[in-house]
Each structure stands twice: as C-alpha cells, then as structure tokens.
Amino acid sequence: MYAAHFNLALTPFSLTPDTRFYVGLPQHEAALAVLNTALAAGEGFIKVTGEVGTGKTLLCRLLLKQAQADWQLAYLPDPSVSPLELRWALAAELGLKYSANIDASQLLQLLQRQLILLAQSGKKIILVIDEAQGLPDDTLESLRLLTNLETEQRKLLQVVLFGQPELDQRLASQQFRQLRQRISFSYVLPVMSPAQIRFYVRHRLQVAGATPALFNSFALLAIGRYSRGIPRLVNLLAHKGLMLAYGEGKSRVTARHIRFAAEDTEDTRRSKRHYVWLLSGAAVFSAACVGWMWR
Ligand SMILES: Nc1ncnc2c1ncn2[C@@H]1O[C@H](COP(=O)(O)OP(=O)(O)OP(=O)(O)O)[C@@H](O)[C@H]1O
Ligand SMILES: [Mg+2]
C-alpha cells in the first residue's frame, strides 16, 4: 500500500517469518550455534523456548534452510497430534507409505528399520517440532520412546523442540522427569534490548530498500517502549506507523505515529496503561510526601 510512497522494494515489517529479513541478533545467532553444536554432537533432545513472537518459527525455518548435506529433516509444524499420528507423520517424512492395516507396534518396527537404513547411508535424522508447547501429554511422552531407538554407537533420531515458556512449565512437572533429563542442550530466547531494536528496524528497512532514516530516533524510542523488545510487536508498530505516515502524506515516521499505532494494537496497550499507572502512582506518592512535609 505504502511501498511506492516510501520507495520500498519489499514490505519491511510483514508478520510472516521470512528468512530474507533475518537480522543476526546475538540471541538468535546463539540459538543457532547451540542447535548446530548439539546436532553435530548427536544429542537426542534439543530445546529452544521463548515468549510469543520472539522468533522461534523464524529460527526453525532458518534451521531447515541451512540444513547440512548429511541431515534428513522431518518437520512437524502443528503438534496437536496423537502418538500414532506423530509416528505416521514421521514415517511420511522419511518416505514410508501410509497403510491402514499396520498397528502401532508394527509401525514402530517399520520406523526403526527405515531409521537404520537412513543412518547406514550416512544420514542424521532430525525431527523438528514447532509450537511444541501444544504437544499432548501422551505424544510428548511417545517422543521420548522414539528417541530411545538407537544403535550401539548413536541415536537414530534427534528431536528439536521449539516452544513458548509453557513448554518449560509442562516439562517441569514430575510426569516428564525422564524426558527432562534427556534434554541436554537448551536455549531461552531473550527479548531485544533498545539498541538491538534500533538495529533490527534499520536492518529490515535496508533489506526492503528503504533509507534507515525513515523512522526518526523518537519513533525508534517509542517502538522500544511499546513493544517491550518483542520482534512481532516491533513489526506491528512499525508497519502501522508507516501506514499512518503514508496516510498523512509524510516522508518520515515519528513518535506520534507510533503512539497512535500502539493505541490501536492489542498487546501494546497494556504497557501504555502500565505507564499511566506508574505516572499516577508517582503523582499520588509525591502529593503524599508534600502533605507530610507541611504537617
Ligand atoms: N532475528 C530476527 N530477524 C528478523 N525478523 C525477526 C527476527 N526475530 C523475529 N523476527 C520476526 O518477528 C516476527 C515473529 O517471529 P516468529 O513468528 O518466528 O515468532 P515465534 O516465536 O514463532 O512466535 P509464536 O510463539 O507466536 O509462535 C516474525 O515476523 C519474524 O520474522
Ligand atoms: Mg511460531
């Protein structure tokens, strides 16, 4: 909509986790390093958790895109499946054909044979699960049983879990202690610092072919405040800011545009209200202090 007005080749702040816009922030680079190290070491379970909108699906896509020649990847984007459906999903990714006549234990044997064949041809088989906080309890437990498949030398299946903090809460329960002990590598994605937000916005603008000065520095400060460092909220605010500036025929996005954008954005209102509460709390406190001094 505003692309021609701002001379943009691409939309800079779309919500899709598009790897062309990847910004190599230290936290995302560290997560990728953990994943690569753990996968190279043949670890059974690796876990990356982070708040909603912090870039897990983007990392997942980067991992799939940067797959090494000896990796055979199986990707499960929607984990709300039963243990049997999980096995069939993995079987399909490994090239096995569905048959209604095969029961759960026969399927496990077939899977084991296929995993051994692939391992013999020099492949590392990696199951990548996004939104892992949504795995039903019995499916989560059945994953552990799948990673029990191993030769004398190594695991036949490695599992990478990407999930929201609820995944850690569930794994903390007594019921999952066996699975928890098998997760030898994990990483928690932090939110972005104010300096990282500035870098992030400017980098995405550059990829889209815009001048990095399209947002003035007060607009960047406002994005930092309302987004709380969460990349998806940064994208939302920046996109709405561009729309508002375009609507007014302006060539730059200012803090006023971001303020309006925040008022119109669900998850950023709370921080604004929080700010108002803080200010009114401070006012009441100062009034009380002044009153006490004059007693
Ligand atoms: N390092 C980064 N570089 C560029 N864009 C990023 C980066 N991190 C996050 N984003 C962007 O932020 C948005 C949210 O990212 P993503 O969808 O991966 O979050 P998520 O953690 O999977 O969220 P959810 O918990 O809701 O599934 C996407 O538009 C994504 O492209
Ligand atoms: Mg996601």
Residue 25 has pLDDT above 70, yes or no: yes
Section 180-207 average pLDDT: 96
CA distance 146 to 251: 56
Residue 284 has pLDDT above 80, yes or no: no
pLDDT of the residue at 289: 55
| Nearest alpha carbon, ligand 1 atom 25 | 52
With cut-offs at 50, 70 and 90, classify the pLDDT of residue 99.
Answer: confident
Ligand closest to CA 130: 2
Residue with the larger pLDDT of the pair 274 and 153: 153
Q: What percent of the chain stands above pLDDT 90? A: 79
Residue 293 has pLDDT above 70, yes or no: no
Count of positions (residues) in the chain:
295
pLDDT of the residue at 295: 58
| Nearest alpha carbon, ligand 1 atom 23 | 53
pLDDT of the residue at 101: 87
Section 45-51 average pLDDT: 97
Ligand closest to CA 236: 1
Residue 195, H or E segment: helix 194-207
pLDDT in tens, 109-141: 999 999 999 999 999 999 999 999 999 999 999
Residue with the larger pLDDT of the pair 256 and 295: 256
CA of 239 to the centre of ligand 2 (A): 19
pLDDT of the residue at 199: 97
Query: Going by CATH, does the domain composed of 26-189 fall within 3.30.70.141?
Result: no
Residue 273 has pLDDT above 70, yes or no: no
Section 90-105 average pLDDT: 89
Residues of the chain with CATH 1.10.8.60: 192-290
With cut-offs at 50, 70 and 90, classify the pLDDT of residue 155.
Answer: confident
Mutational pocket test of ligand 1: of 64, 227, 232, the residue with most ligand atoms within 8 Å of the beta carbon = 232
pLDDT of the residue at 33: 97
Contact present, 244 and 257 (Cβ < 8 Å): yes
Residues of the chain with CATH 3.40.50.300: 26-189
Q: Mean pLDDT in the chain? A: 91
Q: What one-character DSSP code corresponds to residue 52? A: T
Closest atom of ligand 1 to CA, residue 18? 31
Residue with the larger pLDDT of the pair 151 and 252: 252
Residue 277 has pLDDT above 50, yes or no: no
CA distance 262 to 226: 7
Query: Going by CATH, does the domain composed of 192-290 fall within 1.10.8.60?
Result: yes
With cut-offs at 50, 70 and 90, classify the pLDDT of residue 256.
Answer: very high
User: N- to C-terminal Cα distance for the chain?
Assistant: 62
Listed in sequence order, the residues at least 6 apart from 55 whose beta carbon sits closer than 8 Å to its beta carbon are 17, 28, 189, 231
> Mean pLDDT lowest for which of 68-72, 78-82, 122-126, 267-271?
267-271
Ligand 1 binding pocket (C-beta < 6 A) is 15-18, 21-23, 25, 28, 50, 52-58, 164, 231-232, 235
Residue 271 has pLDDT above 60, yes or no: no
Residue 256, H or E segment: helix 255-263
Contact present, 217 and 31 (Cβ < 8 Å): no
**What is the number of helices (H) and of strands (E) in the chain?**
12, 5
CA of 27 to the centre of ligand 1 (A): 12
Query: Scanning the structure block, which residue is given the tokens 């990548």?
Result: 128
Mutational pocket test of ligand 1: of 58, 135, 206, the residue with most ligand atoms within 8 Å of the beta carbon = 58
